[in-house]
Structure 1
């Protein structure tokens, strides 16, 4: 694997496959990552990758989902993706996950050797009657060893630290089904930290969080920025985006704006973005 990885309309590359594995509850690391590196901390002073979307289009049947989407996510930046429901945000992420056939290219430009990509989904769907504790869930998501055998010593410290960072250390033995929606979302954030990623893809991570959870997320976002991690963040809370993002892309089938939060989140641009049939970029 080279320092530049490209996803086009060819079969999914290890980048998309690695993200898809994380979303499916398997290993979060790239498929060719050596096992010993998967719990290692993010190297200090190493920036995350640049992410390029170049002419990405997606059509399902006669419906255009994405229309020539082009923008760039700068390394080490928190880049927010905003737009209406049905505007193509999740579909764009699915192309990155390797789940959607598309035209155009998605390219990752790593500053050195390809690193680790983390993914935090919007919600967790599972049978709440399952006798699965928080520790069991983290083990299933983060290690190759079967979860019913317990936490591997290799991952125990990393899992403990991740749960501590999201304020869930004291609920490790609670059943996942007994947690509130906000608590489950915190656990999802924790699993996104193992292994330490250089690129994080977040799909509306604040949607189920209470006020305390939002404060945890905002602190994590600051930590990720300070560590040089590249963050692509789908979010509907425009006030949070204005405060926390470095750059904002407005997507309603096509890119309507790509600018700093102060330039992007104006009444005129938001009116165009959330219109049923946006006329043009403003």
Structure 2
């Protein structure tokens, strides 16, 4: 998708503003006066070390953690749907739960043991087709590889179609084929004007695929276009044990 085509897309997702957001758990500071903006309809990556506050930040966005400061979602029209794809799925591998069972449990109100509802079944089939898992619908979730389970998680994030999508390291377990599936999905979301908030450790992927990147290690260390922002000096500062702000954020 070219820059001109991207600018021509009308966003359906919101603009997201973090304004001096802080978070403390017990006596431990997790986020310290975090301020940055996520443009509506953009793919915005969050990068930083483990324990740097990335997951806490998105849990704050999802309304799951208390915080100080202001968090604003500015929708163009009526508020839309928010989707979330976690980094991993924790469950008993011995459960006789198939891919269809999992999708039914996650994507419909009808109890999963009654099977897929006729109303949601076509959307589930389409989502599994998009991630290349249509042929494994009857496989047990516990028998899937880590990459295959990650594809199923991506599929459930498509139903219902979100306008704001939060992704927590979606590429962590994907093989090369799975990474290509993810890149196609990311392009589809861009073309649809979805606002994507994407935690990722693969800096090469961020540099290639994201519109904007924010470096977070309890504080904002940099914020700007990936090609200009992901310099060796800033990355060294970001992944250091005791981060110090490097001055004003990159615009």
Count residues in correspondence.
239
Give the conservation status (yes or no) of the 8 Å contact 1:133–1:172.
Answer: yes
Query: Does residue 97 of structure 1 match 2:62?
Result: yes
Normalising to structure 2: TM-score of the pair?
A: 0.93
CA distance in 2, matches of 1:235, 1:46: 23
Query: Does residue 242 of structure 1 match 2:223?
Result: no
Residue number in structure 1 paired with 2:167: 202
Query: Does residue 179 of structure 1 match 2:144?
Result: yes
Give the conservation status (yes or no) of the 8 Å contact 2:46–2:200.
Answer: yes
Alignment of 1:21-40 (within 5 A): none
CA positional deviation for 1:263? 1.7
Match of 1:226 among 191, 215, 218: 191
Residue number in structure 2 paired with 1:112: 77
Unaligned runs of 5+ in 2: 1-8
Give the conservation status (yes or no) of the 8 Å contact 2:213–2:226.
Answer: yes
CA positional deviation for 1:45? 4.7
Give the conservation status (yes or no) of the 8 Å contact 1:255–1:281.
Answer: no
Query: Does residue 65 of structure 1 match 2:30?
Result: yes
SS of corresponding position for 1:47: coil
Residues 225-244 of structure 1: per-residue CA shift (max 9 Å, x gap): 01100000000000000000
Residue number in structure 2 paired with 1:159: 124
Normalising to structure 1: TM-score of the pair?
A: 0.83
CA positional deviation for 1:171? 0.4
Query: Does residue 280 of structure 1 match 2:245?
Result: yes
CA positional deviation for 1:279? 1.9
CA positional deviation for 1:61? 2.1
CA distance in 2, matches of 1:246, 1:261: 7
Q: Note the aligned Cα RMSD (angstroms).
A: 1.1
Residues 167-197 of structure 1: per-residue CA shift (max 9 Å, x gap): 0000000000010000000000000000011
CA distance in 2, matches of 1:227, 1:107: 22
SS of corresponding position for 1:154: coil
Give the conservation status (yes or no) of the 8 Å contact 2:83–2:157.
Answer: yes
CA distance in 2, matches of 1:99, 1:77: 23
CA positional deviation for 1:46? 5.0
Match of 2:176 among 186, 191, 211: 211
Residue number in structure 2 paired with 1:130: 95
